[in-house]
Amino acid sequence: ANTLGLVAVKANGEVLDCMNTLKKDNTGYHLKHLFVGSEGTLGFVTEVAIQCPPKPQSVSLALLGVVDFEHALRTFRLARTMLCEILSSCELMDDNCVTPVVNTLGVRNPLAEYPFYVLIEVSGSNAAHDEEKLNAFLESAMGEGIVSDGTYTNEPSRMQNIWQLRERIAEALLRHGFVYKYDVSLPHDDFYQLIPVLQERLRGTEAQIVSGYGHLGDGNLHLNICSPEFSSELLAQIEPFVFKWISERGGSISAEHGIGFKKTKFLKFSKSDAAIRTMQQIKQLFDPQGILNPYKVLPPE
């Protein structure tokens, strides 16, 4: 949505100039979007214009402890209503994620232990207004019993500490051996349900930690499964089960990271047969000899 224009070189060497710095342009087909997310399989992007919002004057961060996922979702919904135009992040972390960050990396958790944590960031142009909105939100959230405990700060070093609890999860989990990582989108009501389903399914296998965290506001879950070392038996328990489960709920098997070459055979769980055939026709049109980033994104025909 923030890519205004780009220039790409096609497989035949032709320079396809779709450069633009305008917010609105409704002339012809919007070709730039074909290149965004195509992982270099349709052309080599050499220039891009991106719309940048103004840097916010004020940023504050709250870390909240909640008793279950339902309360986490209610926290998000209340934040969307009460913080509205200043809500800039709403992240979820379960205790299976946060505990390794605390125990393995020594990051301090300013709250007591809770099954789930919600991180709320607000960004705005007036610090006093933002703080007042955040206070009103926290009062409601705690008053209604949605949130059990919480802390908030606009002090940079304390904000950094809280963000570490979220941003160092991948690093902490890797210390436990091999990590099977998935980056998926799900409708909000199903957002976390995949984790207990997998915990049940993988009981008795080598899986030691089955954890979920991610961008709750965007519906984007990071599923991480840790085992002492890679096991193809465990992998066979996870895939394609995970992708089928997501597909049945209208989710996406790759929210941010794309398809690459490992997921081409699973693309069908997120895209219809007709859409995949159309993608193959477009690939054929842009790169008839298949020389651009071969074996990526699309399954073999």
Nearer to its own copies among residue 177 and residue 299 (C-beta): 299
C-beta separation of 136 from 82 below 8 A: yes
Q: How far apart are CA 25 and CA 191, in angstroms?
A: 36
Task: Please tell me whether residue 298 binds its own copies under the rule CB under 8 A.
Answer: yes
Closer CB to its own copies, 83 or 165, in the complex? 83
x/- map, 250-289, its own copies, by CB under 8 A:
xxxxxxxxxx---x---x--xxx-xxx-xx-xx--x----
How many residues form the binding site for its own copies (CB under 8 A)?
A: 73
CB of 104 to its own copies, least distance (A): 29
Among 46, 81, 135, 160, binds its own copies (CB under 8 A): 81
One character per residue 116-155, x = contact with its own copies (rule: CB under 8 A): -------xxxx--x--xx----------------------
Site for its own copies in 183-222 (CB under 8 A): 185-187, 215, 218-220
Q: Considering the complex, what minimum distance in angstroms separates the CB of residue 294 from its own copies?
A: 16
CA dist., res. 155 & res. 261, Å (int): 43
Rounded least distance, CB 270 to its own copies, Å: 4
Cβ nearer to its own copies, comparing 28 with 300: 28
Q: Are 167 and 216 in contact (CB under 8 A)?
A: no
**Mask for 90-119, x = binds its own copies (CB under 8 A):** ------------------------------
Least CB distance to its own copies at residue 135 (A): 12
The distance of closest approach from Cβ of residue 222 to its own copies in the complex, given in angstroms and rounded to an integer, is 12
Name which of 84 and 103 has its Cβ closer to its own copies: 84
Cβ 111 vs Cβ 63: under 8 Å: yes
Residue 253: CB minimum distance to its own copies, A: 6
Using CA atoms, how far apart are residues 186 and 251, in angstroms rounded to an integer? 4
Nearer to its own copies, 153 or 247 (CB): 247
Minimum CB separation of residue 51 from its own copies in Å reads 10
What is the 3 state secondary structure string of the chain? CCEEEEEEECCCCCEEEECCCCCCCCCCCCCHHHHCCCCCCCCEEEEEEECCCCCCCEEEEEEEEECCHHHHHHHHHHHHHHCHHHEEEEEEEEHHHHHHHHHHHCCCCCCCCCCEEEEEEEEECCHHHHHHHHHHHHHHHHHCCCCCEEEEECCHHHHHHHHHHHHCHHHHHHCCCEEEEEEEECCHHHCCCHHHHHHHHCCCCCCCEEEEEEEHHHCEEEEEEEECCCCHHHHHHHCCHHHHHHHHCCCECCCCCCCCCCCHHHHHHCCCHHHHHHHHHHHHHHCCCCCCCCCCCCCCC
231 or 252: CB nearest its own copies: 252
Kindly tell me which of 112 and 128 has the beta carbon lying closer to its own copies.
128
- Nearer to its own copies (CB atom), residue 84 or residue 108: 84
Q: Please, which of residues 33-72 interact with its own copies by CB under 8 A?
A: 33-34, 36-38, 42, 54, 56-57
- Owner of token pair 């997921």: 263
